[in-house]
Structure 1
Amino acid sequence: MTLRDATADDLDAIMAIEHRSFPTDAWSAATMAAELSSPHGRYLVDEHDGVIIGYGGVRALHGSADADIQTIAFLPEHRGNGRGRALLRVLLLTAADRGAREVFLEVRADNPSAEGLYLAEGFEELARRPNYYQPDNVDAIVMRLRVRASSASTITAEETKA
């Protein structure tokens, strides 16, 4: 597993995964490009044999008490083997390093694998947003993780390797 910071040069590969992962509600290339260049976030890509197979991002303003996992997606053939968990942990480290005490996210109610990952990593369900994901009319599950001061120091680089 090779995680590295995403760059503007990665946009086409990220968008290909975005459209495969979220065919009906994918972000636009312009939105993703803005996310990749924002100083308030950190986006990572996962490479396998020199090919980008996944990506994820967190919006975490320096000094803010909260952060948001914006997105995590992998090519279908690379799901279910710990890569998403490793990527999530690095994003959580980023949020903690920037001062976040809580991390929020929304996950599609029809994605039990992602919901299970977040629950296993300590997120709790706060609420549901009915019909949030359009045009599919799928609810969003709003989740939160309380970040303990020691959390960042307990997730080491070694633990993020799959």
Structure 2
Amino acid sequence: MSEAEFSADAAAWARAHSETHLPHVAVADDTGGAEIVGMAWLALTPRVATTNSLDRWSGDLQSCYVLPEHRGNGVGGALVQAVLATARERGAEHVTVHASPRSVELYVRHGFRSSGRLLWADVAVTER
């Protein structure tokens, strides 16, 4: 798949999922023109209703990426804060993130913490 084909397909995917996957971008204009230098997505999932609330949501921070030449300047942190602010505005009860080992410290600095209660199963692997 060419870059142009991927771009068109990814844009169509984003439009089709605009209710549940909210993009955030970081823009730099230090070169005389605006350039996107980072992105992050908030994926929202409805949760089962409880006696306390019929409208419950979970968030997942996905695909947080900053161009290498813009890392270390607060761009990633600003994206994380923007995603968390959107999650609060949308009423999410919590936000999870599947972090690379290199990015764990970034997320911890911005309020994420480990939980002994959050478990996951890799369903893409062969059944055991």
TM-score by length of 2: 0.66
Look up the match of 1:87.
79
Matched, 1:44 2:36: no
Could you tell me which residue of structure 2 aligns to residue 77 of structure 1?
69
Return closer, same or farther for 1:125/1:78 CA change in 2, 3 Å cut-off: same
Amino acid at match of 1:53: V
Q: Secondary structure at the match of 1:123?
A: coil
Distance across 1 between alignment mates of 2:77 and 2:11: 22
Alpha-carbon shift at residue 36 of structure 1 (Å): 5.2
1:158 maps to none
Q: Which secondary structure state, in structure 2, belongs to the residue aligned with residue 124 of structure 1? A: coil
Counterpart for residue 57 of structure 1: 41
How far, CA to CA, are the matches of 1:89 and 1:42 in structure 2? 14
CA RMSD of aligned residues (A): 3.1
TM-score by length of 1: 0.54
Query: C-alpha distance in 2, partners of 1:103/1:117?
Result: 15
Whether 1:115 and 2:107 are equivalent positions in the alignment is no
Higher strand content, 1 or 2: 1
Q: Could you tell me which runs of 5 or more consecutive residues in structure 1 were left unpaired when the two chains were aligned.
A: 1-10, 16-28, 133-162
How far residue 64 of structure 1 moved from its aligned partner, in angstroms, is 3.3
SS at match of 1:122: coil
Offset at 1:32?
6.4
**Aligned equivalents of 1:87, 1:70: Cα separation in 2:** 11
Counterparts of 1:79 and 1:56 in 2: how far apart (Å)?
A: 14
Matches for 1:24-35 after TM superposition, within 5 Å:
30=9, 33-35=12-14
Whole-Å separation in 1 of the counterparts to 2:119 and 2:69: 29
Structure having the higher Rg: 2
1:129–1:100: structure 2 CA closer, same or farther, 3 Å change rule? Answer: closer
Question: Number of residues paired by the alignment?
Answer: 105
Q: Which amino acid aligns with 2:25?
A: V
Q: 2:88 & 2:67 partners in 1: Cα distance?
A: 27
Which ranges of structure 2 fall in alignment gaps of 5 or more residues? Answer: 47-54, 123-128
Separation of aligned partners in 1, 2:57 and 2:114:
19
Structure 1 residue 128: Cα displacement: 7.7
The residue number in structure 1 matching 2:126 is: none
